[in-house]
């Protein structure tokens, strides 16, 4: 009757997926938020195709950054408010693993959709085929980094009023390296330079985040529950 770690993590993902399904609106909104923010820029900046193409990588990446940051509000806050997080901390499994699982589930419902839609948005800004490809790759490697780093901020601001904005303040600076290499990769391919360097740096960052953030997040959660 006692379940192993794998089973528990499975249940956790299943549960979060089910909630996301019930709250389809949620998932969709992160998604539409991304789309809208990207679409706002031509309105603010003006329609010159040349200029748009130049700013495209930056705009898409910044929008992805903001979208996944907005979604952080749903990562722990609700579980914290209704006591589920307490139960997670009491689970006879290592909290860092459970946290990592939650982040994974979160990425599946918030990060992945952005990656999927990004080519369409890239087209809006007149990106060429190879640039589009690089954009997708950079986001595919980059968005998990955003979720992982974000989880630390989200956990740190649990139960702290103004969480949303405070989280933003905490995590946005830490997002910047990801942004630089992600947008940089696309910019490089537009400029006809190689992108391997940028993408591998992104990959390195991802590994670093995977190795470190779960512990930090778990620690932050425990602190919040004390």
User: From the list 97, 104, 172, 210, which residue makes contact with its own copies (rule: CB under 8 A)?
Assistant: 172
Nearer to other proteins, 83 or 129 (CB): 83
**Residues 192 and 128: beta-carbon distance below 8 Å:** no
130 binds other proteins (CB under 8 A): no
199 binds other proteins (CB under 8 A): no
User: From the list 91, 128, 204, 211, which residue makes contact with other proteins (rule: CB under 8 A)?
Assistant: 91
Place of tokens 């499975």: 10
Kindly report the length of the chain.
226
For the CA atoms of 131, 66, 205, 216, what is the dihedral angle to 10 degrees? -170
User: In this structure, what token pair is assigned to residue 13?
Assistant: 């993902």
With b meaning 16 or more CB within 10 Å and e meaning fewer, what string describes 60-73?
Answer: bbbbbbbbbbbbbb
How many whole angstroms separate alpha carbon 155 and alpha carbon 80? 9
- What number of other Cβ atoms are within 10 A of residue 126's Cβ? 12
- Rg (alpha carbons) of the chain, rounded to whole number: 18
| Segment interacting with its own copies, rule: CB under 8 A, options 86-94, 113-121, 165-173, 204-212 | 165-173
User: Could you tell me the smallest distance in angstroms from the CB atom of residue 65 to its own copies?
Assistant: 7
- Binding letters toward its own copies, positions 1-30, x by CB under 8 A: ------------------x---x-xx-xxx
- What number of other Cβ atoms are within 10 A of residue 53's Cβ? 16
- Binding letters toward other proteins, positions 36-65, x by CB under 8 A: x--x--xx--xx-x--x-------------
What residues line the site for its own copies (CB under 8 A)? 19, 23, 25-26, 28-30, 32-33, 36-37, 40-41, 43-46, 51, 54-55, 57-59, 61-62, 65-66, 70-71, 73-74, 78, 81, 160-162, 164-166, 168-169, 172-173, 176, 179-180, 183, 187
């Amino acid at each position: 009757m006692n379940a192993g770690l794998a089973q528990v993590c499975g249940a956790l993902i299943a549960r979060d997926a089910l909630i996301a399904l019930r709250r389809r609106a949620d998932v969709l909104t992160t998604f539409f938020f991304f789309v809208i923010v990207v679409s706002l820029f031509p309105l603010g900046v003006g329609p010159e195709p040349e200029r748009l193409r130049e700013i495209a990588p930056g705009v898409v990446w910044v929008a992805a950054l903001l979208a996944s940051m907005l979604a952080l509000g749903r990562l722990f806050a609700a579980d914290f408010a209704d006591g589920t997080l307490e139960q997670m901390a009491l689970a006879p499994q290592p909290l860092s693993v459970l946290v990592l699982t939650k982040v994974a589930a979160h990425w599946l419902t918030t990060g992945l959709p952005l990656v999927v839609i990004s080519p369409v948005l890239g087209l809006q800004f007149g990106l060429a085929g190879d640039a589009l490809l690089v954009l997708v790759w950079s986001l595919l490697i980059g968005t998990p980094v955003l979720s992982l780093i974000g989880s630390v901020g989200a956990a740190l601001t649990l139960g702290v009023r103004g969480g949303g904005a405070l989280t933003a303040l905490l995590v946005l600076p830490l997002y910047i390296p990801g942004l630089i290499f992600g947008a940089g990769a696309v910019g490089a391919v537009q400029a006809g330079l190689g992108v391997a360097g940028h993408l591998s740096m992104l990959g390195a960052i991802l590994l670093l985040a995977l190795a470190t953030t779960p512990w930090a997040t778990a620690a932050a959660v425990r602190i919040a529950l004390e």
